[in-house]
Amino acid sequence: MTVLPDLDTRRDTTSAPPSPVTIGGLGEPGTLLLSGPSPEAGPEDLVGHASRWGPLPAADGAGVRALLRDSRLDGRGGGGFALARKVETARLAPGQPVLIVNASESETESRKDRSLCAHRPHLVLDGAALVARALGVDGFVVHVHRGDAPVGGALGAAVVQRTEAGLDDPAVRLSEGPDRYVAGESSAVAGFVHGGDARPMFTSSPLAVRGPSGRPTVVTNAETVAQLAVIARIGPVPWNGLGAPSSPGPRLVTVAGAVPRPGRVLEITGPATLGDVLSAEGVVAPPAAVLVGGFAGTWILGDEAWQTPFTRESLACVGAAPGCGLVAALPHDACPLTETARIVRYLAGESAGQCGTCVAGLPRLADSMDSLAGGSARRRDVRRMAGLADTVLGSGACGHPDGVVRLIQSTLDVFHDDVVRHLAGGPCRGSDHPPVLVVPDPRPRPTTDPGAWR
Amino acid sequence: MAVSVSVRIDPTRCRGHAICALFFGDGVELDQWGFGRVTDGTADTDRLVRRARRAAAACPNGAFIVHDDGVTLAARSGA
């Protein structure tokens, strides 16, 4: 078995040696973030949390910023941007910063942030309190999807417990926004929190420089801040060493598709391969392919994926990125083009309806994928689809159209043989396979009714 | 003295009238629906700056955005 090299020139020599691979779910051995009670126990309360982790360390703002720097904590919402840099950017920008913890997890097959907030709310609130210190602010907002009762309930109850216990916490506001795919994008969240629509915004500067309120705005993911709460307890260098050189620290992933228990959230430490992750879930042989990073992610053929470590560097070698941490297995008897076509159709209807090329282009891309999967496309249709994808790429105010394009490009690239077979011989037997990925019913067109975005 | 300006099209406002392309010419790339994208985000000659400002004034949706960089052209060109 060949393991892809995990080279990283940024690695400093003071880091701990590479960690052994461990993989586990909530309350299972080998976990850190997910350690503690089993999922059936519900949200861990403040007493349980404090007895396992101790009180929140008394690091001041400079101390927390040092933790961020030394751990090299990367954002876990999809972008992978270093939280230390966001914080420094916001501190250098004029105005009092705003801190928003994004727990809305709009990626429908991903569960990691929801699971974390619903079961370990105090870890999330601890981490957010630390980021507030680093920014020098006395409050923060936690943004969740409306109607996500386990998450909102657990966080709300945790805030009450902390207040009653007299913790010296920043003021917390829970914000509930619409449950839509692009509503979880950071500028959409920031806009919503400041009284606007939960639709992505065209911004002239990064949110951390100038957000919708005119103040520097740090939007960071729930897992990211929870990781900081762990870093403050175990130290930044030991935490860093629990990952792989290019991917500091442990990571949360959600497994989906052809696995025994789709929707399970796992914490991985060390350079675990996708094969390790799937094996831990009882998958005994490489699937046909693995979709990594989310709906707007990248397909990797099963044999290759099986040997690829789930680290930023190794995934980049196969054109993928950790994204939201989704690991979805495609079985050998399903049709990859049909699965992709369903995702593209769903994403087309999830456009915020603001940018013309996205509104006009995504349904066309969905039509093209449908005809390709259905076996009615010709070679020139595929060329046109690729050309249209190039047009759509980079056309929007947010990354939504780009995500669709990347998924399509990855599909055409990775499943080249399937494409050729569909062009030659019509639909494949896999077209009749029941849907593998749980994709919500697509909306016929983007929703532009402003009420839908409040 | 003129200054160089940064030029952008706000895709959330653009409705594909393509009027900007009349003024800003090659600086705008139109897709098949007429939605524009600037090819170079900086206008750094007096002529280009003038055209950019006209395009901004002509856009019915305020999508063509000209932002002063504050860099004087004379200083940049060393004249």
Q: What is the mean pLDDT of residues A163-180?
A: 96
ipTM at complex level: 0.87
Between CA A321 and CA A325 the distance in angstroms is 9
Nearest to A395 among B35, B65, B67 (CB): B35
- Is a pLDDT exceeding 50 seen at residue A357? yes
Taking the Cβ of residue A356 and every Cβ of chain B, the question of whether any pair is shorter than 8 Å is answered with: yes
Domain ranges within chain A, ordered by starting residue:
22-241, 251-330, 336-453
- Is a pLDDT exceeding 60 seen at residue B74? no
Name the least confident of A44-48, A438-442, B42-46: B42-46
pLDDT given for residue B75 in this prediction: 43
Taking the Cβ of residue A357 and every Cβ of chain B, the question of whether any pair is shorter than 8 Å is answered with: yes
Confidence of residue B73 (pLDDT cuts 50, 70, 90): low
- Is a pLDDT exceeding 70 seen at residue A14? no
Give B-chain residues touching A397 at CB under 8 angstroms.
10-12
Q: What is the mean pLDDT of residues A133-154?
A: 95
Top-level CATH class of B3-66? alpha beta
The encoded tokens of residue A240 equal 């860093």
The encoded tokens of residue A142 equal 């936690």
* The B42-43 sheet, strands edge to edge: B42-43, B3-9, B64-72
Q: Which residue of B has its CA nearest to A202?
A: B10
Q: What is the mean pLDDT of residues A189-202?
A: 97
Contact B11 A202 (CB under 8 A): yes
Contact A355 B14 (CB under 8 A): yes
The mean pLDDT of chain A is: 94
- The fraction of chain A above a pLDDT of 70, given in percent, is 96
CB A6 within 8 A of CB A312: no
Enter the pTM of the model.
0.93
DSSP annotation of A395: -
DSSP element (H, E) containing A329: strand A326-330
What backbone torsions phi and psi does residue A246 show, to the nearest 5 degrees?
-90, -10
The encoded tokens of residue B14 equal 């653009």
- Is a pLDDT exceeding 70 seen at residue B78? no
β-pairing, A326-330 vs A289-292, is antiparallel
- Is a pLDDT exceeding 80 seen at residue A12? no
Between CA A131 and CA A307 the distance in angstroms is 36
Chain position carrying tokens 């720097």:
A69
- Is a pLDDT exceeding 50 seen at residue A5? no
Chain position carrying tokens 């003071």:
A14
Using a CB–CB cut-off of 8 Å, the residues of B that contact A are 8, 10-16, 31-33, 35, 37, 65, 67
Between CA A223 and CA A74 the distance in angstroms is 10
Q: How far is A356 from chain B (nearest CA, A)?
A: 7
Which of the residues B29, B35, B66 would you substitute to probe the A interface, choosing the one with the greatest number of A C-beta atoms within 10 Å? Answer: B35
- Is a pLDDT exceeding 80 seen at residue A386? yes
Q: What is the pLDDT of residues A309-342, one digit of tens each?
A: 999 999 999 999 999 999 999 999 999 999 999 9
CB A27 within 8 A of CB A265: no
Contact A356 B11 (CB under 8 A): yes
- In CATH, the architecture of A251-330 is Roll (3.10)
pLDDT given for residue A284 in this prediction: 97
- Is a pLDDT exceeding 80 seen at residue A11? no
pLDDT given for residue A17 in this prediction: 59
The encoded tokens of residue A140 equal 């923060």
The encoded tokens of residue B18 equal 């393509």
pLDDT given for residue B72 in this prediction: 56
Q: What is the mean pLDDT of residues A408-415?
A: 97
Give B-chain residues touching A358 at CB under 8 angstroms.
11
Confidence of residue A425 (pLDDT cuts 50, 70, 90): confident
- Is a pLDDT exceeding 50 seen at residue A192? yes
Which amino acid makes up residue A162? Answer: R
Contact A357 B33 (CB under 8 A): yes
- Is a pLDDT exceeding 90 seen at residue A422? yes
- Is a pLDDT exceeding 70 seen at residue A434? yes
Contact A356 B10 (CB under 8 A): no
The encoded tokens of residue A419 equal 């494409």
Chain position carrying tokens 């940024």:
A10
β-pairing, A265-269 vs B3-9, is unpaired
Contact B14 A396 (CB under 8 A): no
The encoded tokens of residue A35 equal 């350690």
CATH code of the domain made up of A22-241: 3.40.50.11540
| Cα dist from A265 to A28, A36, A276, A299, B74, whole Å | 11, 14, 14, 20, 59
- Is a pLDDT exceeding 70 seen at residue A133? yes
Give B-chain residues touching A394 at CB under 8 angstroms.
37
Expressed in angstroms, the distance from the first to the final Cα of chain A is 51
Q: What is the mean pLDDT of residues B18-44?
A: 94
Confidence of residue A449 (pLDDT cuts 50, 70, 90): confident
Q: What is the pLDDT of residues A80-96, one digit of tens each?
A: 999 999 999 999 999 99
Nearest to A356 among B8, B16, B65 (CB): B16
Q: What is the mean pLDDT of residues A20-35?
A: 96
Collapsed DSSP state (helix, strand, coil) of residue B21 = helix
Q: How many CB atoms lie within 10 A of CB A89?
A: 18
Q: What is the pLDDT of residues A250-263, one digit of tens each?
A: 999 999 999 999 99
The mean pLDDT of chain B is: 87
Q: How many CB atoms lie within 10 A of CB A215?
A: 18
The encoded tokens of residue A367 equal 């039509």
The encoded tokens of residue A70 equal 């030394």
| Cα dist from A325 to A297, A366, B75, whole Å | 10, 24, 49
Contact A202 B10 (CB under 8 A): yes
Instruction: Look at the domain A336-453 and name its fold.
Output: de novo design (two linked rop proteins) (1.20.1440)
CB A221 within 8 A of CB A113: yes
- Is a pLDDT exceeding 80 seen at residue A441? yes
Range A423-454 burial, b when 16+ CB lie within 10 A, else e: beeebbebbebeebbebeebbeebbeeeebbe
The encoded tokens of residue A266 equal 């796992």
CB A31 within 8 A of CB A25: yes
β-pairing, A251-257 vs B28-30, is unpaired
